[in-house]
Structure 1
């Protein structure tokens, strides 16, 4: 018994540590046999060098060699494999990795090793090469790294290289590699909304340099790339001096049309709200941003508000802008000219005209209207504002309070003049511009009856004519211009269209729509609607409606202010004014934080 107790006790080792010891022993032995040339059964010939290797070793780390040795090809029997498209020095590095676990990688051989590891399907080596290249991406080599990564399924390398391209585009576009991009790669870069450039001139300059590097072979490709250049966002001077005179533009009708579109956008500030083009899209890191501006009106508690709110379409967030100088009350009118907003009349100050200067986020008072009013329409044409019809509470006779007066405000000279009269006095009407003519749709007459008449005021001739009848009488409708097409959204959800010959007819219907004093504007070819009231209920929603397909798409239902009798307009603002992020509780502002985007 004592002898047995003195015998040493044996504890079996865990499997994994033992497996590790055995695998290390095998690995060391294979390395020694490779360098000694023992038991090798395949000869690999690369360029002018021969390498004696073990099939089992190559097949165990490479799916390429495993498939080759199982295929029944000649190499399986004669033991000689000739490899093409690889340097012998690269194959030496691969064998060092396979037999010794040595990674001989540097900036000079990393790309060759990556390509070889992808060819031979050596996953671990492929991973290590990708990690090395990720750590050595620079402005000079990011395009090459991006193209290499796409060709060899290196997702992380492609992701990092793409980020460097976008973040440093101003410098990347001047590198040698940029000149050798193909057209599809160029399209992919310039079309990315995350491209970090301070202005679109940088993008255009880079594309034009790329074109001039090989104009003979790139002319056709460049004309197609023109569709994706955001030309309307360029300055007028750049368009006229740099783009329009280009031989490429002069000789290509499609390019000329795209340039003409951009020049029209710059030269017709009164029509910018109606403009629809994928080329008017601001990038994520641009200084400017497109927003929906909501001005004044009444909230769900029937309280007048002086708030001016901006909804960022990109960030789906509300911001607070400079408030109105006073609460406008009911039935004022507003329109956009260029990148400013003008607000006229309203129940509080019938003859007032305010201007929101977007460059400074400030409100300024303009000269008062000659004829005060509310329930009127206001539009911008050329370099002027036109106020049409409406209701003047200060008239002593009720029969004279519904107006036929048309006032014109010359924006540059800041002067008012009476420029004409409507055929029929109306109020609670809506108006839209088509080819310098103002169309006025329906409204209320002096005798309180709704009307279906359509009037047209020619801003050149200063004459007004009755051109058609709506299918039915309506008031408080909203006219919207989308791609030069005029639509009238009625309070019952019916949508009417104005044909080129001035005829109004039903074209669509918004389902479950029954509200008045709502907002309606053009947005990316669709009609954007928000707010409004039905009885005592005030709506809190924003959605778009396509009059061709009759499909609606909700933009926001939560965190939306309740508003009626307000003005909703689309504007382009500098991001520095979008600092104060706000949220809503039951349609009211509940908190405010400083936004640091």
Structure 2
């Protein structure tokens, strides 16, 4: 014990010498005593072998030398007095700079070390010295990515077994331990961070552990941020908080908070901490708030007259609508239906709606069903009031579903009200079509492309672009595609609408049409990197369109003249699938591939580049459309997914179609 105390005293003297010499800018040594664990030697308790053990190990009559080595490995490894003596001896050599054969330059400091010790503890140094590189033979090496104080802590750990961690430096030590491939030091850092985890550092620890694949601690830190969100926001330097971290918390269904006021305040504080660079993100962040649930007092005092809100007409309108919910309670249901984020599970429910589809070549559905994540059940909704056939199109506007065309209803148009669970008629299209696309931009609905075999021209593709304004209740022709196409993907950036790929009159195409809403002109801007089949798209953000192809290629277009291919889903090979977005969750539904029709409902994970299981259709189908909408819970009455022809009670159904109706079964999910 006297020897251990002597080494400890010499170590403290050496540490004081290095600390006093080191540049304060590079070390960051000034800390309170409460922030650190005291240096504690960590020698393992010695194992004292019995006489019989000693005889067995060292007996010259052992059967072989290999057997002796094997017994040494199992009985003596790290458990004898020799191990403790060796550590004490190495610590003594290190503290007194004796028999050193390597100088390690870190910043302005030079550390005298022993190659054998560095190689024994760090795979990084072992690989360096065994590589035959220049550093392997030099008496001096330089480390550029580690601070002197950090390397001093690492050497103390190597030679003496001391754990000297500080709250402010443990992250740097962890980074260095990963670089130097010191797994035991990495584990000690993780233990220290876990014991010091709090609301003031859980976000930093979460991101750090994610970066280094420390899953358990990353999960623990994230869960703390979700459960203690209000305190975390109060203890966090919002200027340093990255947008993706804030968004990741806001969109999580496990987020705990006392009211929507808290979330609104967090967003406003984050933007106001750097308004010059963050005001442009306000509209994107506000989609994670259910404004009608924000208190009237907060809406009036914090948002209504805030310059950041008044300068953004779209957010200003949403705030006005939310205030109207408080002033005119009868308006609340209608306004709640328009919300993009919805957390309440009382009177309202966000569900995945599936429309139409094929279950066989001859069975083309017009049924509408929805999947509820809360009850994990399918429910039947009001079916489309007429036969739509194949290749119809749908889009969302203010939580209402608009549907047009299809092979059996080329010029018909209807819209579905989730509030009423009913369909309503719209004026007929000027140009009937199938294989077209719809998109809602700036409160208007646009129809582009498609084909119509009723056209008298040789080319059956439809060039005319039609627009519908709910206020005017009329379809107007507002332009023409530069290259008419069918079975393509569609997206928008700012005031421009893009068509991606599809088929022109000569076959598959990789061209992109760009229609400018303001000038009502259209042109071909560039071609995609490759011709791909069955492109589907979702609007990730107002300025970002994500596309998924039938071969699994995932791409992003941001409106410029470049097209970024992100990655490929290796096992995905499917056509005629549905694609929708629920918050930030991108969902792939059904489709048909080499193995037939699919009943899979999967979430596309951008981080892992994989499809993750979410649910299953009651029966495999393709050619469907899917949307995420908010419904009144009272409309979730009929369990199961209806597969067949319901009684036609609405308008516009020819007698010949009624005669062809065949009853089908109703598939229930048990």
Range class of TM-score, shorter chain: 0.5 to 0.7
CA deviations over 1:10-47 (Å, ceiling 9, x no partner) = xxxxxxxxxxxxxxxxxxxxxxxxxxxxxxxxxxxxxx
1:275–1:474 Cα change, 3 Å: farther
1:266–1:359 Cα change, 3 Å: farther
Determine the structure 1 residue equivalent to 2:344: 283
Determine the structure 2 residue equivalent to 1:178: none
Matches within 5 A, 1:213-224: none
Determine the structure 2 residue equivalent to 1:344: 404
Contact 1:561 1:584 in 2 (8 A): no
Distance apart, 1:502 and its partner CA: 3.7
Secondary structure in structure 1 of the residue aligned to 2:407: coil
Using the alignment, how far apart are the partners of 1:182 and 1:387 within structure 2? 43
Determine the structure 1 residue equivalent to 2:493: 434
1:536–1:506 Cα change, 3 Å: same
Determine the structure 1 residue equivalent to 2:631: 573
Contact 2:291 2:318 in 1 (8 A): no
Q: Does 1:469 align with 2:527?
A: yes
Using the alignment, how far apart are the partners of 1:476 and 1:191 within structure 2? 30
Contact 1:232 1:262 in 2 (8 A): no
TM score, norm. by length of structure 2: 0.50
Contact 1:193 1:283 in 2 (8 A): no
Correspondence for 2:301 among 240, 246, 252: 246
Q: Does 1:413 align with 2:476?
A: no
What's the Cα RMSD here? 4.4
CA deviations over 1:224-264 (Å, ceiling 9, x no partner) = 9x99999742339x78x7445525997897x9999986856
Contact 2:358 2:624 in 1 (8 A): yes
Q: Which runs of 5+ in 1 are unaligned?
A: 1-180, 212-218
Determine the structure 2 residue equivalent to 1:383: 443
CA deviations over 1:96-154 (Å, ceiling 9, x no partner) = xxxxxxxxxxxxxxxxxxxxxxxxxxxxxxxxxxxxxxxxxxxxxxxxxxxxxxxxxxx
Using the alignment, how far apart are the partners of 1:548 and 1:505 within structure 2? 16
CA deviations over 1:319-357 (Å, ceiling 9, x no partner) = 000111122111000001111111100000100001111
CA deviations over 1:137-193 (Å, ceiling 9, x no partner) = xxxxxxxxxxxxxxxxxxxxxxxxxxxxxxxxxxxxxxxxxxxx9964999xx9997
Distance apart, 1:510 and its partner CA: 1.4
Q: Does 1:294 align with 2:354?
A: yes
Indicate the larger mover: 519-528 or 462-471. 519-528
Using the alignment, how far apart are the partners of 1:459 and 1:207 within structure 2? 35
Q: Does 1:508 align with 2:567?
A: yes
Q: Does 1:374 align with 2:452?
A: no
Q: Does 1:402 align with 2:493?
A: no
Distance apart, 1:275 and its partner CA: 9.2
Distance apart, 1:456 and its partner CA: 0.9
Determine the structure 1 residue equivalent to 2:38: none
Count, aligned residues: 383
Determine the structure 2 residue equivalent to 1:235: 292
CA deviations over 1:540-589 (Å, ceiling 9, x no partner) = 001111234413211014x5332211111111111111111116999x85
Contact 1:351 1:369 in 2 (8 A): yes
CA deviations over 1:255-284 (Å, ceiling 9, x no partner) = 99999868569889xxx99997xxx23223
Using the alignment, how far apart are the partners of 2:586 and 2:230 within structure 1? 35
Determine the structure 1 residue equivalent to 2:484: 425
Determine the structure 1 residue equivalent to 2:610: 551
Using the alignment, how far apart are the partners of 1:571 and 1:380 within structure 2? 15
Q: Does 1:530 align with 2:628?
A: no
1:479–1:325 Cα change, 3 Å: same
Using the alignment, how far apart are the partners of 2:590 and 2:532 within structure 1? 19
Distance apart, 1:385 and its partner CA: 1.1
Distance apart, 1:592 and its partner CA: 5.3
Using the alignment, how far apart are the partners of 2:489 and 2:419 within structure 1? 29
Contact 2:396 2:627 in 1 (8 A): yes
Secondary structure in structure 2 of the residue aligned to 1:576: helix
1:520–1:410 Cα change, 3 Å: same
Using the alignment, how far apart are the partners of 2:311 and 2:612 within structure 1? 31
Using the alignment, how far apart are the partners of 1:583 and 1:395 within structure 2? 37
4+ long deviations beyond 3 Å: 181-187, 190-196, 202-208, 226-232, 241-245, 247-253, 255-268, 272-276, 583-586, 588-593
TM score, norm. by length of structure 1: 0.56
Using the alignment, how far apart are the partners of 1:464 and 1:298 within structure 2? 34
Using the alignment, how far apart are the partners of 2:399 and 2:380 within structure 1? 18
CA deviations over 1:458-479 (Å, ceiling 9, x no partner) = 1121111212211112343101
Secondary structure in structure 1 of the residue aligned to 2:634: helix
1:569–1:193 Cα change, 3 Å: closer
CA deviations over 1:487-543 (Å, ceiling 9, x no partner) = 111110111211342421311111211111110111332321011112571110011
Using the alignment, how far apart are the partners of 1:464 and 1:347 within structure 2? 26
Contact 1:320 1:581 in 2 (8 A): yes
Using the alignment, how far apart are the partners of 2:348 and 2:253 within structure 1? 13
Secondary structure in structure 2 of the residue aligned to 1:246: helix
Q: Does 1:443 align with 2:502?
A: yes
Using the alignment, how far apart are the partners of 2:252 and 2:550 within structure 1? 40
Q: Which runs of 5+ in 2 are unaligned?
A: 1-227, 235-249, 274-281, 323-335, 645-663
1:247–1:266 Cα change, 3 Å: closer
1:191–1:494 Cα change, 3 Å: closer
Contact 1:429 1:440 in 2 (8 A): yes
Secondary structure in structure 2 of the residue aligned to 1:401: coil
Whichever of the two has the greater Rg, that structure is 1
Matches within 5 A, 1:152-167: none
Contact 2:299 2:319 in 1 (8 A): no
Q: Does 1:479 align with 2:537?
A: yes
Contact 1:404 1:421 in 2 (8 A): yes
Contact 2:263 2:289 in 1 (8 A): no
